[in-house]
Structures are given as C-alpha cells and as structure tokens.
Amino acid sequence: MSHTDPFDFTGKVVLITGGSRGLGRAMALGFAGRGADIVVASRKQDACDVVADEIRTMGRVALAVGAHVGKWDDLKRLSDNAYDRFGRVDILINNAGMSPLAPSMVEVEEALFDKIVDVNFKGVYRLATLVGSRMAAGTGGSIINVSSIGSLLPSPYFGAYAGAKAAVNALTIALAREYAPKVRVNTIAPGGFLTDVAGDWAEDEEALRAVPLGRFGQPGEILTTAYYLASDASSFTTGALIRVDGGALHTK
C-alpha cells in the first residue's frame, strides 16, 4: 500500500463482471483512473469494447471479454483469457446481476427463476472459485462480491433476486475461509444508485422516503468502498459485508 495514496492501484489487474454499464462501468473507469489495468466483462462484446477503449485513452491496458456469467464455460474462458493476457488477477469484482420484478412470487416462472439464480449466484460462485483458487496458489488478492440491500431487506417484488443475493452474502464468508490467508473476500451491498440502468424506482417518492439521507446514490459513491476493500487499507477485513445504501430502512 502506498504511504502517499492508499488507493494507488498502479500495476494491479482488476477483473470486473458487468463492467460495461452501471456501477460496473463506474468501477472499471475508477480503478483505471487509479492506475489499474482492467479486464472488462459483460454479456455483450461490443459494450465491453466501448469501455475498454475508454480505459485505453486513460493510458491503461484493457481486455474486453464478452461472457455470460450464468454459463460456466464462459467463465472458464474469461478466467483463462485474463490470466493468459496478464498472468494474474489481483482484484476480482463480481458485479454482474439482474433484478427483474414480478407482481407476486408465485408468478415467477421457472425459466426466469433459474436465470436469476444463474446470473446472481451460480456465476459468482464459479468465477470466485476459478480466480480465488489461482490467487491463493499465487501471490494472493482481493475478491469483492456485489450483493444488494435487497438481500437484507427483501421484498416480494424481487423475492428470487433477494434470495440469490443473500446466497452471495453467505458464499462470501465461505470463500473468505476457503482462501485465507492470502485472499480476502468481502461483500458490498448497494442500495439505490442513479446509474444509466436505474429503473422506475429512481422517480419513486415512496422508495426515496425509505432512505434517511434523502437521496439515491451517484455511481462514483461506490468507488471508495470498492477501493478500500481492494487495497491493503483493508488488510484485516475479510468475510465482511458493507452497506452502501444511504441507510435504507426498507425496500418497496
């Protein structure tokens, strides 16, 4: 850790899923701005390419990999591509997710349920183990799983999503134990953030009243928590969950 800047990631390699938009894009550009080289992954290759080009204009190296996080073959290819290009991954951010709403829990069809679990939990499990095992066998690293305040304050409108994200919270603790002491694994649980993929809730006054800070978050406000967990500033922090949600009291 730099004594002048604890969040200097020069020479580090960061792999971010869901890195082409929303909080993932903010973190990809944020870490690049702090000196890191970035592996940008999301389902659409062209969207990854756009973000990777932005990172290259910042003077950093970027690798764009189109990969569906719900498919284990894609994740194996993603991991292999990252290690082939850079030789290591220092920081893994499992950010990709999907949160469809449903009128009631009984109306969630099996195909949608499986897709929610695949993207939000199964993919996190697989990529964290693929990369975490290699980190543990090498020089170590940090894994950050992006969960949701919905995992702690679940609503019937997104019951399957809340369950999948709660599984990520539990998985984080298991991973932290599995790969200690060389790898630290922690969770960020975001609340409502005003990203380019924010839904109708961004204009929902009832949802806003449940946030004591009186507003939703801006994408950049996730960065310092991610920097902290990725850096040696959090060298004695593993298996933790940090809420970044404006103090949310409930979800709709």
Catalytic site positions: 161
For residue 237, give the nearest of 186, 178, 171, 181 by alpha carbon. 186
The encoded tokens of residue 207 equal 């949802």
The encoded tokens of residue 87 equal 């030789």
Q: What kind and span of H or E run contains 126?
A: helix 123-137
- Angle at which helices 159-179 and 123-137 cross, to 10°: 10
233-148-39 Cα angle (round to 5): 60
Report how far residue 9's alpha carbon sits from residue 228's, in angstroms, rounded to the nearest whole number. Answer: 11
Report how far residue 229's alpha carbon sits from residue 63's, in angstroms, rounded to the nearest whole number. Answer: 23
For residue 218, CA distances in Å to 101, 120, 196, 204, 211 come to 22, 22, 11, 16, 14
CB 78 within 8 A of CB 16: no
